[in-house]
Amino acid sequence: MADTAPMKVLVLGAGIIGISTAWHLLERGHDVTVVERQPAAARETSFANAAQISVSYCEPWANKHAPAKLLKWMFRNDAPLLFRPQLDWQQWRWGLQFLAQCNDAAFERNVRQLVALGAYSHAALKDVVRATGIEYQRLERGIAHYFTDQASLDGAAEAAQLMRKYGVQRKVISTAELLAIEPAFKSFSDRIVGATYTASDESGDARVFTEQLAQRCADRGVRFLYGHDIERLDKAGGAIDAVAVRERATGIAQSLRADEVVVACGSWSAPLLRTVGVDLPIYPGKGYSATFRLRRPQDAPFVSTIDDEVKCAMSRLGDELRVAGTIELSGYDTSLDSPLAKARCRMLANRIEQVLPGVCDTRTEEEGGSPRFWTGLRPATPTNIPYIGKTRVGRLWVNAGHGTLGWTHGAGSGKAIAELLSGHEPQMAFNFYGAQQGHPRAATIAAHER
């Protein structure tokens, strides 16, 4: 039963954020329709990510060391974070706002909110799993983060101290302690100088979870319009009047009306919202992943792990290993056939062969292997804090900008916006409210628009 009278709600987007939003709206008694341009749920950003539920590893990209690193990495095709300047005002504006966050005060302020959202979201995820019984290659083994140089490890110790301030139990451990937790890295241990570890984190397949949750939504009456492009938001009198969509297969157009509309279109949320005067600094970060079949499953890690040197994460998904990393700020391109994309994919394969020699089948297709490379656009904000709340346009809400933490923050973001839309404030220290707090159901993103 809903906290307010049941409403008709349109959710635009069927990734982890959109589907979680639909589920929690359904739980509160609302009539939900989901619109998605792909033929099924989780076919874009949620499709093949790093698989980590990294509540305790949520530091924003913007920190005091980031500007120097970005300059150093600009001409490296395999750089962890690569800024490729475009003739795009939105990219440059985003970059300037990012630089403004590269200081200790902003870093700590942003960490505090990300940790709060992460803890709330992890609890929400566990509740959904208990309620639904969804299985998604879940491993509750924690997350380890190893380092190959002492300076980086020293910096990690400082970060761990900051995280503990906000309730995150991140431990600094020796190489021997890391190997006791995860023996799979023994052959690479001479390169490892130490690590950090959080036992409370976990991993699992975001695509499988999202698909299963979408199916449960459909079984309970949520209407799905897959294969439909969102053509425009129609506004009248300062509020959304309708959403114009067109079915890809037939070309048939529809005008959908609802009491409320939630935009959860990932990186495409920003250009869509700008058409009705909501201008948010969300910019796509092109991330890469590779999924390798395990040749020696007995020697593969069970603990999800971050490799600090190349900034990639690895997670076991049954008889496969998912490796993901690198962010490229270069627009909305999702191709895998450019020289740059091939270099970044090759880096992931080469690194796994260095760290876990012979454990995965990293051969190319020409060599007889079957790696699955993928790229998706991470909807990044300069602070890494997502926008969750009601916009200044009537009946229009946003749930976007989760960057690399969509899987980590998805369940909680969906629950939070469902609570807000139903007239309640989520119980966490997160900045939802701004200029329209007086509105009876308002939680706005205005406080973030700076």
Q: Which among 407, 413, 411 has a CA at the least distance from the CA of 386?
A: 413
Q: Supply the pLDDT for residue 11.
A: 98
Q: Supply the pLDDT for residue 297.
A: 97
- How far is 250 from 230, CA to CA, in rounded Å? 14
Tell me the one-letter amino acid at 349. A
What pLDDT digit, counting tens, does each position of 26-51 carry?
Answer: 999 999 999 999 999 999 999 999 99
One DSSP character per residue, 181-221 reads H-GGGGGGGGG--EEEEETT-EE--HHHHHHHHHHHHHHTT
219 pLDDT above the threshold of 70: yes
Residue 63 belongs to a domain: yes
- How far is 31 from 38, CA to CA, in rounded Å? 22
Residue 301 belongs to a domain: yes
Q: Which among 208, 214, 205, 264 has a CA at the least distance from the CA of 17?
A: 264
Residue 244 belongs to a domain: no
376 pLDDT above the threshold of 60: yes
Asked whether 109 and 384 are in contact (CB, 8 A), the reply is no
Q: Which among 420, 422, 427 has a CA at the least distance from the CA of 399?
A: 420
What pLDDT digit, counting tens, does each position of 104-139 carry?
Answer: 999 999 999 999 999 999 999 999 999 999 999 999
Give the domain range for residue 372. Answer: 57-87+138-201+283-380
Asked whether 429 and 117 are in contact (CB, 8 A), the reply is no
CA of 258: how far to CAs of 31, 164, 381, in Å?
9, 44, 28
Place of tokens 């302690």: 177
Residues 6+ apart with CB under 8 A from 271: none
Tokens encoding 2? 């809903």
What pLDDT digit, counting tens, does each position of 68-93 carry?
Answer: 988 888 878 777 888 888 889 999 99
Within 332-427, strands assigned E span 372-380, 387-390, 396-400
For the whole model, what pTM was predicted? Answer: 0.94
Give the count of domains, the chain. 1
321 pLDDT above the threshold of 50: yes
| Confidence grade of residue 145 (pLDDT, cut at 50, 70, 90) | very high
> Mean per-residue pLDDT for 396-405?
96
Residue 24 belongs to a domain: no
| Confidence grade of residue 3 (pLDDT, cut at 50, 70, 90) | low
Residue 326 belongs to a domain: yes
Residue 337 belongs to a domain: yes
| Beta-bridge partners for 380 | 283
Calculate the average pLDDT of the chain: 93
| Confidence grade of residue 437 (pLDDT, cut at 50, 70, 90) | very low
355: domain CATH number is: 3.30.9.10
Residue 385 belongs to a domain: no
| Beta-bridge partners for 325 | 288, 312
- How far is 161 from 394, CA to CA, in rounded Å? 43
Chain centroid, CA 33 distance in Å:
23
For the four alpha carbons of 184, 190, 192 and 195, in that order, the dihedral sign comes to positive
445 pLDDT above the threshold of 60: no
Residue 65 belongs to a domain: yes
